[in-house]
């Protein structure tokens, strides 16, 4: 049972945000990790889709027809979609056509991929972390953790890959060579949460009920905060605050420097979902099937939306729209400010579950269910 919960959480609440570099006045519209570089599941560079036109989304392409579960959430970089499918392969697909460019047998993709500097990093259910050439799929290196499952999605920052494993450890690996720089042993048996890296600190949850803050260079523990149950949710960091969900039915806002609780909000069910933070609002789903928007400063509820099934995946925010997947196969686009329903898609197929999280890039919404990956854009 635990295995199922962890997998659902990681790919639905976990799966990696687009690089939002503003170098030289440019804005990258890629979605390169489960978290993105700002750790907030928010793409501020998206300018095509908005509240006025998202209702016209139509299917561009679909790829798969492989009975899952599909546990990976897509990453998008430079015209390529990277995603792990239920057959155990990592796929690189043309983002415009869905045509497969290359595949790699990863022994079962356990995590969402992360793309940085021409390399794709992904965890596997065989306990390995792989680094692949993003253009060709050739293996550059692999690192075997002491566990059997790396469902935690890698975070790449400053030449280091940070990832959790089912051995209870958080690892820091050299992004070029795969050499271990350090590891930190939590008190738990499974780190399913995907690390967030901000200001030289790694933030991550564990099944020992704790949220940890570790020195990104040395792995030394800076602080930990104990919730009332498992922390499978992946933290988001914004404006000096760490936002994270717990299996104890709460979302917590913690001081990023010392771990002190700023506020918490109690729902009626568990929080697998990882929060998305944008424009002073925190968006998060619950197993009861509701999506909530909370004030990021106070934790006050701003609105909620009743989905048709459990929301275990993590929302994505772009240009005034929040996108979410529900476990029974529905995908929604909502007004991020009001929660008003703007668009939805119902899967028609035999395995309709949606466990992975959406990605939004260049006017296209990418998401998966247990059968295939979809790309929706404007007609």
Long-range contacts of 17-22 (CB under 8 A, 24+ apart): 17/41, 17/42, 17/43, 18/43, 18/45, 18/76, 18/359, 18/361, 19/77, 19/116, 20/44, 20/45
pLDDT per residue over 245-267, tens digit each?
999 999 999 999 999 999 999 99
Q: Which of 156, 110, 117, 151 is nearest to 133 (CA)?
A: 117
For 185, other C-beta atoms within 10 Å of its C-beta total 13
Rounded to two decimals, the pTM is 0.91
Regions of the chain short of the pLDDT cut 50: 1-25, 350
Position 7 scores a pLDDT of 34
Question: Alpha helices, DSSP H only, in 242-367?
Answer: none
Three-state secondary-structure class, residue 13: helix
CATH of domain 2-378: 2.130.10.10
Position 294 scores a pLDDT of 98
pLDDT per residue over 209-239, tens digit each?
999 999 999 999 999 999 999 999 999 999 9
pLDDT per residue over 161-207, tens digit each?
999 999 999 999 999 999 999 999 999 999 999 999 999 999 999 99
**CB of 339 within 8 A of CB of 303?**
yes
Position 40 scores a pLDDT of 87
């Amino acid at each position: 049972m635990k295995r199922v919960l962890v997998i659902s959480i990681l790919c639905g609440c976990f799966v990696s945000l687009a690089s939002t570099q503003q170098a030289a006045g440019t804005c990258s519209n890629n979605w390169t990790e489960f978290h993105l570089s700002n750790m907030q599941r928010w793409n501020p560079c998206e300018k095509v889709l908005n509240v006025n036109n998202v209702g016209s989304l139509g299917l561009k392409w679909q790829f798969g027809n492989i009975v899952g579960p599909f546990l990976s959430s897509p990453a998008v970089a430079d015209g390529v979609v990277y995603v792990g499918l239920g057959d155990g392969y990592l796929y690189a697909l043309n983002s415009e056509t869905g045509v497969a460019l290359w595949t790699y047998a990863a022994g079962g993709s356990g995590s969402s991929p992360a793309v940085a500097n021409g390399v794709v990093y992904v965890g596997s259910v065989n306990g390995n972390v792989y680094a692949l050439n993003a253009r060709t799929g050739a293996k550059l290196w692999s690192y075997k953790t002491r566990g059997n499952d790396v469902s935690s999605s890698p975070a790449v920052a400053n030449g280091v890959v940070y990832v959790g494993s089912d051995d209870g450890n958080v690892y820091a690996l050299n992004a070029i060579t795969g050499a271990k720089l350090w590891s930190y042993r939590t008190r738990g048996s499974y780190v399913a949460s995907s690390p967030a890296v901000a200001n030289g600190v790694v933030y991550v949850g564990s099944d020992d009920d704790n949220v940890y803050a570790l020195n990104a260079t040395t792995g030394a523990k800076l602080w930990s905060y104990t919730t009332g149950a498992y922390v499978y949710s992946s933290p988001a960091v914004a404006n000096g605050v760490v936002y994270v969900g717990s299996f104890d039915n709460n979302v917590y806002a913690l001081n990023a420097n010392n771990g002190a609780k700023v506020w918490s909000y109690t729902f009626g069910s568990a929080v697998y979902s990882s929060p998305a933070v944008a424009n002073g609002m925190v968006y998060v789903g619950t197993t009861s099937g509701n999506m909530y928007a909370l004030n990021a400063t106070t934790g006050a509820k701003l609105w909620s939306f009743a989905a048709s099934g459990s929301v275990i995946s993590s929302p994505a925010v772009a240009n005034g729209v929040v996108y979410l997947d529900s476990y029974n196969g529905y995908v929604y686009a909502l007004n991020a400010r009001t929660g008003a329903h703007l668009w939805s898609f119902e899967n028609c197929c035999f395995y309709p579950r949606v466990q992975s999280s959406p990605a939004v890039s260049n006017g296209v919404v990418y998401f998966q269910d247990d059968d295939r990956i979809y790309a929706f854009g404007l007609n």
